[in-house]
Amino acid sequence: MLEMPDDLILHVTGLKKYYPITTGFLQKVSGYVRAVDDVNLSVPQGQSLGLVGESGCGKTTTARSILRAIDPTEGEIYFRLSDGKIVDMSKLNAKQLKEVRSDIQMVFQDPFSSLNPRLPVLDIIAEPLKVQGWKRNKYENRVSELLQVVGLNSSYMRRYPHAFSGGQRQRIGIARALAVNPALVVADEPVSALDVSVQAQILNLIKELQEEMGLTYLFIAHDLSVVRYICDTVAVMYLGKIVELADTEDLFINPLHPYTSALLAAVPDADPHQPWLGQTLSGEIPDASTKIDGCPFAPRCEYALDICRKQAPLLNPMGDNEHTVACHRASELELKGVV
Ligand code: SF4
């Protein structure tokens, strides 16, 4: 029987997703793109974990591997279903995956392409309910209720997606994700495609729903300011690895990894009188197919020493709270956070 601490919904260990690089007529494997490289993370019931990093850092591949939208190369993905049973998502076959799918629902990045334009809202939101065998009279009531929960008029269920704004479409996507009372909601950059003016409304909704319904989120974002509002814990990813993981406020006030500090510096300050942190990221993330002996952030890090280029830092705890960081110089650097 599989076991994990009682308070956890999700417990991922040693997750890897490598894509083979093939060359020549015989398609010989000449190397691997290490899109996700030994990721460990846990999400407690009713809490939110933010996965943050630049585009290409592996955060979406991590989420897709957890969901089994793609097959991981290695690792365990322990997931507690809503009936309390624990499964290892990495070991499930297609039939078993179909049975557990309703317990992990996803809110997609693009509310324009994620809703079928040929279906009315009723059928879009009822899709997971129909899979569970709900009859029309029952699912119509449920859709009406869900529309109200996400702040839309229930009379909208007969309309088609084109009749809605981006923010309204994302509310419909959230209603669809909540239809079957999932144990975990994976939100993949749920506000990044929206106008800035409606982003805050959708974030408010996501936060309110969590408080009212006790939802558990795995929240993916490239923008640290978004996760600060939503998440209890944040994992910062760089080149397929978690480089820092901490309680959200601790991470913002006291970042220990130069990459986190640089991401924080890129977040505009709400107060124009506060000094700019003065540190911004330059250069691109190195190619994930290149074998790197030392710290993967070294080519972009202003604090890099010789050891950084020779030896990869491990993710280790720092201090007396649950703050972990992969940096040789974490104990000596005084990095700037935000208040
Ligand atoms: Fe920078 Fe070295 Fe720390 Fe890597 S290990 S983040 S190169 S100081």
Q: Give residue-wise pLDDT tens across range 224-261.
A: 988 998 999 999 999 999 999 999 999 999 999 999 99
pLDDT confidence bin for 277, thresholds 50/70/90: very low
Three-state DSSP at 319 gives coil
Q: Could you identify the atom of ligand 1 that is nearest to the CA of residue 305?
A: 2
The closest residue, in CA terms, to atom 7 on ligand 1 is: 298
With a 6 Å cutoff on the Cβ, whether 295 touches ligand 1 is yes
Ligand 1 pocket test: pick from 329, 331, 332, 335 the residue with the most ligand atoms within 8 Å of its Cβ: 329
Going by DSSP bridges, is the β-strand pair 316-318/241-247 parallel, antiparallel, or unpaired?
unpaired
Of 301, 306, 307, the one to substitute when testing ligand 1's pocket (max ligand atoms within 8 A of C-beta) is 301
Residue 71: exposed, middle, or buried by beta-carbon count in 10 A (0-12, 13-18, 19+)?
exposed
Q: Where are the alpha helices (DSSP H) in the chain?
A: 59-67, 94-100, 121-131, 136-149, 166-178, 196-213, 224-230, 248-253, 258-265, 306-310
313 CB within 6 A, ligand 1: yes
* Cβ–Cβ < 8 Å for 248, 227: yes
Report how far residue 62's alpha carbon sits from residue 78's, in angstroms, rounded to the nearest whole number. Answer: 14
Q: Atom 3 (ligand 1): residue with closest C-alpha?
A: 327
The answer for residues whose C-beta is within 8 angstroms of residue 156's C-beta and 6 or more apart is: 121, 147, 163, 164
Query: Given pLDDT bands bounded at 50, 70 and 90, which one contains residue 278?
Result: very low
Q: What digits encode the pLDDT tens for the residues 9-54?
A: 999 999 999 999 988 888 888 889 999 999 999 999 999 999 999 9
Rounded distance between C-alpha atoms, residue 71 and residue 22, angstroms: 19
Is residue 270 over pLDDT 60? no
Give the count of alpha carbons within 13 A of 300, CB side only. Answer: 19
What are the structure tokens assigned to 7, written together?
Answer: 């308070």
Q: 198-232, pLDDT tens digit by residue?
A: 999 999 999 999 999 999 999 999 989 889 989 99
